[in-house]
Amino acid sequence: MARTRSAEYDSIHDTIIRRAAAIFAKHGYAATSIGDIATACDCSKSRLYHYFDGKEAILRDMLTTHVDSLLEQCRQVLYGSREPKERFLQLVKLFLEIYADSRDQHVVLLTCLDVLPPEHRNELIGKQRELIAYVRDALLQLRPDMAQNRVLAHVDTMLFFGMINWTYTWYRSDGVVSPDELAERTVEMFLNGFTNMPVKP
């Protein structure tokens, strides 16, 4: 008979993921040991192995969960009945909220993906490409004429991600600019250009 999970299993699992993400984001994957993660989680290494086979399994679970959450929430936004610009705004808000709420996981995705074995890395890259395609399609709804040049549509999509992917390095959600204001400003700048940006009094 299979052993049932304790009521605390999911909570402990998520705590390990969250605290490991903080260490990976700060020190890098290579410089972090299982012992470091166990210390951060206030548990023994043997207890960690009850939840994960090793450090690589923690990283794989962490990144898969993070990207899957992005994909699922993107689908919910895109399948909503909004106007194209409003849909794009909601996508931007979604990305920025997740980047703020899951900052460490986002940093790990940007900096540690290459350490995974090819099969797992390629699976995650495939999901990232799906995310990119969602944003590209949202932009094409705003500029249907761009469908004639898929190369430029891809370039513009990657420029968009270049704008938002590194906000974690400088943006603080509890600062003067709220997450919603940042999302609205990002959309206006991306769609209308810097020279048309309004200046707040």
Cα-Cα-Cα-Cα dihedral sign, residues 8, 14, 16, 19: negative
Q: Measure Cα distances from 171 to 103, 114, 168 in Å.
A: 11, 25, 6
pTM to 2 decimals?
A: 0.85
Output the pLDDT for position 67. 95
For residue 77, being part of any structural domain is answered with: yes
- Check: CB of residue 163 under 8 Å from CB of residue 103: no
Whole-number Å distance between alpha carbons of 160 and 186 = 9
25 within some domain: no
Dist CA 100 CA 177 (whole Å) = 13
Task: Establish if 30 belongs to a structural domain.
Answer: no
What is the number of other CB atoms lying within 10 angstroms of the CB of residue 95? 24
> Range of 112's domain?
55-196
68 located within any domain? yes
Domain assignment present for 40: no
Question: For the chain, how long is the longest CA-to-CA vector?
Answer: 68
| pLDDT of the chain, 201 residues: tens digit per residue | 444 566 687 788 999 999 999 999 999 999 999 999 999 999 889 989 989 999 999 999 999 999 999 999 999 988 876 899 999 999 999 999 888 888 999 999 999 999 999 999 999 999 999 999 999 999 999 999 888 888 989 999 999 999 999 998 898 888 899 888 999 999 999 998 877 767 765
Which residues, 6 or more positions from 78, have their beta carbon under 8 angstroms from its beta carbon? Answer: 87, 91, 134, 137, 138
Q: What is the pLDDT of residue 2?
A: 45
Is 22 domain-assigned?
A: no
Give CA torsion, residues 97, 90, 125, 101, to 10 deg. Answer: 10
What pLDDT is recorded for position 150? 86
Residue 184: CATH number of its domain: 1.10.357.10
189 is a domain residue: yes
| Structural domains counted in the chain | 1
Q: Helix, strand or coil for residue 80?
A: coil
**pLDDT confidence of residue 7:** 62
Query: What is the CB neighbour count within 10 angstroms for residue 66?
Result: 21
With beta carbons less than 8 A apart as the criterion, state whether 27 and 18 touch. Answer: no
Residue 15 lies in a domain: no
pLDDT at res. 6: 63
